[in-house]
Amino acid sequence: MQPFVYNSQASRVVFGAGSLRHLVREIDLLGARRALVLSTPEQRSSAEHVAALIGERCAGIFDRAVMHVPIETAREAREVAARLNADCAVAIGGGSTTGLGKAIALESSLPILAIPTTYAGSEMTPIYGITEAGLKKTGRDARVLPKTVIYDPELTTGLPAQLSVTSGINAIAHAAEGLYAQDANPVMSLFAEEGIRALAQGLPRVVASPDDIAARSDCLYGAWLCGAVLGSVGMALHHKLCHTLGGSYNLPHAETHTIVLPHALAYNAAAAPDAMHRIARALHATDAAQGVFDLAQSLGVTVALKDIGMPADQLDRCAGIATQNAYANPRPVERGAIRALLEDAYQGKRPAARAASD
């Protein structure tokens, strides 16, 4: 075994159907008295349910979380938290809502209790993102890692089937890149492979029956493990491409991950054979890139950037942005090859299998 460094991220996880009933106990354990509940406008009713559970210790609800955390929203939420004397933030929702909690915690160190309702995994990471003047900046800071996470699969049954699939593949992307990360380690690789396996088994059952709690549990468990990988080791080409596409063209986050991942894996396949073997094994596929593509296509989500609003004439520019700064990746990142990758993703082409001799 190669020497390695493993950074554990300290958080408390309460997992299981119905575990939202432990919310007040968990707020007590944080030592908090005035909880500010965060949500998107669409999940206002979930926020109200949470506020009712918290009772008199609920300081208020802020329901304006949106994707990519615009700085104006972050400032408004910070002001509300300060005005209400909140001493903890309870974020119920996906990565956008957790991200808003992180924007508050970044300045105030307010502890976050996250209740994830998608599979994006932000609740397991010290990574924050804030968008200012059309530019999204991300960073790592221990203050933004949620202190407590309540994973209750019952809260995910309302996540539409298509968003469940793309969000699940967003999670798989964290694990896949974690397996070939420059700072990969055996512990996170175990999390990664198990996370992919749980999601690959759970997602088809969720699509067939969105209320299936056992399937929802498998997916949320997989999302937890994959999120932990994202929080612990560095990402590479795939995440760089998705941030470029999402940030520059405002493409939807989970869908973009779903479309790009097979092509990023095909690009890196020959340079990371062990990771590809483990991804394929977890997917019960013979090839990692094709396995992800087939999973997405068989579950009825789009596999082409042209279907989600990517302008055809921007592929050159996108290849330029994604290759202008150096970053760790198993295979050198070359502009011409990235342009070809983007063309394949734009058209929704099934990637070729890695040759056995590669």
Ligand X SMILES: NC(=O)C1=CN([C@@H]2O[C@H](COP(=O)(O)OP(=O)(O)OC[C@H]3O[C@@H](n4cnc5c(N)ncnc54)[C@H](O)[C@@H]3O)[C@@H](O)[C@H]2O)C=CC1
Ligand Y SMILES: O=C(O)/C=C\C(=O)CC(=O)O
Interface ranges with ligand X (CB under 6 A): 40, 42-43, 67-68, 93-97, 99, 117-118, 120-122, 125, 127-129, 155-156, 158-159, 163, 167, 230, 253-254
Q: Minimum distance from CB of 283 to ligand X (Å)?
A: 21
Site string for ligand Y, 137-176 (x = CB under 6 A): -x-------------------------------x------
Q: Minimum distance from CB of 238 to ligand X (Å)?
A: 13
Q: Which of 138, 62, 140, 132 is nearest to 101 (CA)?
A: 62
DSSP secondary structure, 197-256, as one string: HHHHHHHHHHHH-TT-HHHHHHHHHHHHHHHHHHHHS---HHHHHHHHHHHHH---HHHH
| Binding test (CB under 6 A) with ligand Y, winner from 147, 216, 239, 354 | 239
Q: Minimum distance from CB of 289 to ligand X (Å)?
A: 22
The tokens for 327 are: 């970053």
Q: Tokens 């996370």 identify what position?
A: 195
The residue number with the shortest CB distance to ligand X is: 95
Q: Where are the beta strands (DSSP E) in the chain?
A: 12-15, 35-38, 58-62, 88-93, 112-116, 127-132, 135-140, 148-151
Q: Minimum distance from CB of 69 to ligand X (Å)?
A: 7
In this complex, which beta carbon is closest to ligand Y, that of residue 94 or of residue 153?
Answer: 94
Residue 238 touches ligand Y, criterion: CB under 6 A = no
Give which of ligand Y, ligand X, none residue 239 binds (C-beta under 5 to 8 Å, depending on kind).
Answer: ligand Y
Residue 127 touches ligand Y, criterion: CB under 6 A = yes
Q: Which of 194, 50, 174 is nearest to 121 (CA)?
A: 174
